[in-house]
Structure 1
Amino acid sequence: MFFSEHLSKELLAKYGVPVPAGRLARSPEEAERRCAEIDAKKYVVKAQIAAGGRGLAGGVKFAATPSVVTDEARAMLGSSLVTAQTGSAGELVSAVSVEEALDLAENYFIAYVLDPATGTPMLLASSEGGVDFEERSKSDPNAVKSILVGEDSAETRTALADFLAGVGITDPEPVEILLSARSAFETNDMTLLEINPFAKTNDGKWVAVDAKISIDGSTLFRHPEFESIAEAQGLSPSEMEAQKNNINLVKMDGSIGVVVNGAGLGLATNDMIFDAGGMPANFMDIRTTATSFDIAKGVSLLLAEPEAKVILLNVHGGGMTSCDTVAEGVSFAYSRSERHLPIVARLAGQNSEWGNRILRERRIPVETFDTMTDAVTRAVELAN
């Protein structure tokens, strides 16, 4: 679950991470009024969407006066901003952030992710931040350095200071700021905390000029304060409906509906579809708490997608989600839908034989395979 820039910085500020003075506006007139509250010499207007890449797509505009702020806000609000991360449909701009424009002396890229091997927050840093960072990092794999950052201690502070010096940050203040950011990352179950740029202003202050965070959607039961944010962040109706039914769903532009339990398996399945020449219609992660009725809802959402031509069911039963539970959900969905897309199924693990039997005996239009490769290959054939 991605947060917009304004919400990301609002949360980081609560942990002591310095951010520019800014206000949210949902109309051009409100944007102009916000200028008086900020009392800045110059301003920047930023489209508030969950996707990144706004700067290169016209979603960030500088303005010298409040009247120019009004004009820029009017141009953005109500438009669909298409970036490298939104897909061709873009993302609706329903709000803008009006901020103080700062004069920057140094720009850095900073991010926290979770190290999968140790479960420890990993800090990524580069000496070159800004809107062109992603392209530069692709051409130079050594542009980004990393370090595991443990709990606050004298040893951690020394290691962090030495690491930052290696990317050009020698001031002591960023150590404190990045430890505060680590606390925000861990406390709020983030999967990503990106600050780009993390900058030093001409007057020597360090500030998170832009920020983006992602919260693990499966931890929302620990964070009821984020539920309203999830509803308002620009998810499609089908994605919101899936969230309510214990399924993480992200719409994509392809023709293969994917039903998978587990985020890692879901990502691997989508990668295999791309490698085989196909295009997934979605990313899906059936949470461990999902019932067969929840799964039925998720499958029904895929059946309702007009671009979907086939359903790829790739499930590894285990823990709290068994193959027969998923098969029952598929059966429920097909019994309630007039659209019966062909299914290519690969079931493995707990109750896989029983799951395959359910699909066959309920007269679901299914072909079963023993391996992921064979299932993906057949799904791509049917979709094409």
Structure 2
Amino acid sequence: MYKSFRSVSGMAARASKLARQPIQQQQQKRFLNIHEYLSVDVMRKYGINAPKGAVAKSPEEAFEVAKRLGHFSNGYKGGVKTFSTPEEAQYLAEKMIGHNLITKQTGAEGKPCNAVYICERKYARREYYFAILMDRQSAGPVLVASSEGGMDIETVAKENPDAIVKLPVDIKKGLAFEDAKELAKKIGISNVAQEDAAHTFMNLYKLFTERDATQVEINPLSETNDHQVLCMDAKLNFDDNAEFRQKEVFELRDFTQEDAREIAAAKYNLNYIGLDGSIGCLVNGAGLAMATMDIIQLHGGKPANFLDVGGGATPEAVKAAFEIITSDPHVSSAFVNIFGGIMRCDVIAEGIIAAAKELDLNIPLVVRLKGTKVDEAKKLIAESGLRIFAVDDLDTAASKAVNFSSIVTDARKAGIKVQFS
């Protein structure tokens, strides 16, 4: 019996790319992503079969887990390491634990690998793809399955779209056994295993609805040589809005795999998206955020992030937003672009002034405010005595933010300290 060895951080980072097919625009965007080994634990509670395995957080634990699982086989396949002895498991764990795993999904900096997942490897007679997603077009969940599992599903969709079968489900009626069995038949599961596959699909659907999942992805779903249906891996995402009723699931969240700035922003109900530029952007609303980034780039700059304060931010939240923006050492200027509707400009101004005073901001700050209570906001800024560059025109404000960023960046390279406050 083969055993395999996987980096936990890599499995947590690998997201389903099937959503880039026509279903993409219907899939929810807010989700909790948990490690694969934790996803397997959740599935087992629903009677879903998966290979035996355990997590090791040190090379020594990897050795002990490997011994408990029995015999191993040598070799490599993709991101999964296979090996023949517990000593090899220990050696591989030493190379992985404590280091960053870098993949296409993690970005250049990678994600920290704090543990490895060691599991048995079953002989697969055939491999399939299975997923459940939310589909707005059919106003409910959709099951997506394919006879071509264990590979990039978007490659299958591109090269052989007929191999992908979709089954919309009426969320009021649920998934019927007959429909689940017919789906198993369509993707080529053998006659003797179709009932087992149907029960697996139904259990996965039950997990999907009861746990407020936004995605359940199994790739591959395998039929073994003795016709067992096994989920060989697991990718589960859960709706952030359901946290209040899914406490057990959300306790599985691993903050080490997330951007610390995004975590800090969430505490104040702010939305933070990190980018790779040098201009920190504080905005309200996704549309204005996109326009702000576009005009910065039009003037030759690059946004370092955008931080959306939404419509209900307090001065304390705005101050926290500046702390998050300026925590990025690459930020060399900050651009505040607010259209006051529900969000009042004077509240933003109060937060900006508090941040400039308490955080001792040493980068140039360009502020452009329009809308509700804008006159009061301008008065607060003017009377603050702080070096805040208030500009009414968006084009001019963006140009200043870019120019200031260039000055500070050049000064830093030359070892010159520039003071703007």
TM-score (norm 2): 0.70
| Farther-moved stretch of structure 1 (88-97 vs 352-361) | 352-361
Partner of 1:93: 113
What residue in structure 1 maps to residue 206 of structure 2?
183
SS in 1 for 2:166: strand
Rg comparison, structure with higher value? 2
- Correspondence for 1:196 among 209, 214, 219: 219
Give the one of 269, 272, 278 matched to 1:246. Answer: 269
One-letter code aligned to 1:297: A
Aligned equivalents of 2:397 and 2:126: distance in 1?
A: 47
User: Aligned in 2, Cα 1:367/1:232: closer, same or farther, shift over 3 Å?
Assistant: same
- Residue 65 of structure 1 aligns with which residue? 85
Superposed CA offset, 1:89-140 (max 9, x none): 1111110011011212222222222224565223333332224444454566
1:27–1:73 contact (8 Å) kept in structure 2: yes
TM-superposed deviation, 1:86: 0.9
Match for residue 103 of structure 1? Answer: 123
1:316-356, Cα deviation, whole Å (9 max, x unpaired): 777xx635455654454344331344447587xxxx43368
Aligned 1:37-76 pairs, distance under 5 A: 37=68, 39-42=69-72, 56=78, 58=79, 60-76=80-96
Task: State the distance in 1 between where 2:198 and 2:142 align.
Answer: 14
* Rounded Cα–Cα distance in structure 1 between residues aligned with 2:402 and 2:159: 34
Cα offset, 1:18, TM superposition: 1.8
Offset at residue 306 of structure 1 (A): 1.9
Cα 1:232–1:300 shift into 2, 3 Å: closer
Q: Contact 1:309 / 1:341 at 8 angstroms: preserved in 2?
A: yes
| Partners of 2:137 and 2:379 in 1: CA distance | 40
Give the letter for the 1:353 counterpart.
Answer: T
Q: Structure 1 residues 20-29 or 151-160, which shifts more? A: 151-160
**Counterpart amino acid of 2:40?**
K
Does the 8 Å CA contact 2:132/2:143 hold for their aligned counterparts? Answer: yes
Q: 1:185 to 1:155 in 2, by over 3 A?
A: closer
Counterpart of 1:353 (choices 363, 372, 389) is: 372
Corresponding residue for 1:127?
147
Q: 1:12 aligns with which of 21, 29, 43?
A: 43
Determine which of 327, 334, 338 is the counterpart of 1:304.
Answer: 327
- CA apart distance, 1:31: 0.8
Q: Partner of 1:24: helix, strand, or coil?
A: strand
Q: Percent identity?
A: 28
Q: Taking structure 1 as reference, are residues 335 and 2 closer, same or farther at Cα in structure 2, changes over 3 Å only?
A: farther
Provide the rounded CA distance (Å) in 2 between the counterparts of 1:230 and 1:136. 31
Return the offset for 1:45. 12
1:376 & 1:18 partners in 2: Cα distance?
A: 58
Does the Cα contact within 8 Å between 2:134 and 2:141 map onto a contact in 1? yes
Question: Which stretch shifts more, 77-86 or 203-212?
Answer: 203-212
**TM superposition shift of 1:5:** 1.1
1:45-81 deviation per Cα after TM superposition (whole angstroms, max 9, x unaligned) = 99xxxxxxxx75x4x2111222221121121111211
Amino acid at match of 2:253: A
Query: 1:181, CA displacement in angstroms?
Result: 2.0
The residue number in structure 1 matching 2:18 is: none
> Is the CA contact (8 Å cut-off) linking 1:256 and 1:379 kept in structure 2?
no
Aligned amino acid, residue 183 of structure 1: K
SS in 2 for 1:306: coil
- Give the letter for the 2:44 counterpart: A
Q: CA deviation at 1:314?
A: 6.5
1:31 maps onto 2:58 in alignment: no
**Secondary structure of 2:34's partner?**
coil
For 1:179 and 1:273, the matched residues in 2 are separated by 49
**How many residues of Structure 1 are paired with residues of Structure 2 in the alignment?**
363
1:229 is paired with a residue whose SS is coil
CA distance in 2, matches of 1:314, 1:254: 17
Aligned to 1:365: 389
Q: Return the offset for 1:304.
A: 2.1
Q: Check if 1:81 corresponds to 2:101.
A: yes
Contact 2:141–2:171 under 8 Å retained in 1 = no
Distance 1:140 1:34 in 2: 40
Aligned-partner SS, 1:293: helix
**Superposition deviation, residue 28 in structure 1:** 0.9
Instruction: Pick closer, same or farther for the CA change 1:204–1:70 going to 2, 3 Å.
Output: same
Report the counterpart of residue 343 of structure 2 in structure 1.
322
* TM-score in terms of structure 1 length: 0.75
Deviation at 1:157, TM superposition (A): 3.9
The residue number in structure 2 matching 1:112 is 132
Residues 292, 337 of structure 2: 8 Å contact kept: no
Q: Which residue of 2 aligns with 1:150?
A: 170
Query: Which shows bigger deviation, 357-366 or 265-274?
Result: 265-274
Q: Tell me if structure 2 keeps the 8 A contact 1:43–1:98.
A: no
Q: Alpha carbons of 1:2 and 1:346: their partners in 2 closer, same or farther (altered >3 Å)?
A: farther
Deviation at 1:270, TM superposition (A): 9.6
Whichever residue aligns with residue 42 of structure 1, its letter is F
Letter in 2 for 1:365: F
- Given that 2:322 and 2:355 are in contact with CA atoms closer than 8 Å, whether structure 1 keeps it comes out as yes
| Larger deviation, residues 361-370 vs 182-191 | 361-370
Structure 2 unmatched runs, 5+: 1-31, 383-387, 407-421
Question: Pick from 255, 258, 267: which aligns with 2:278?
Answer: 255
Partner residue in 2 for 1:52: none
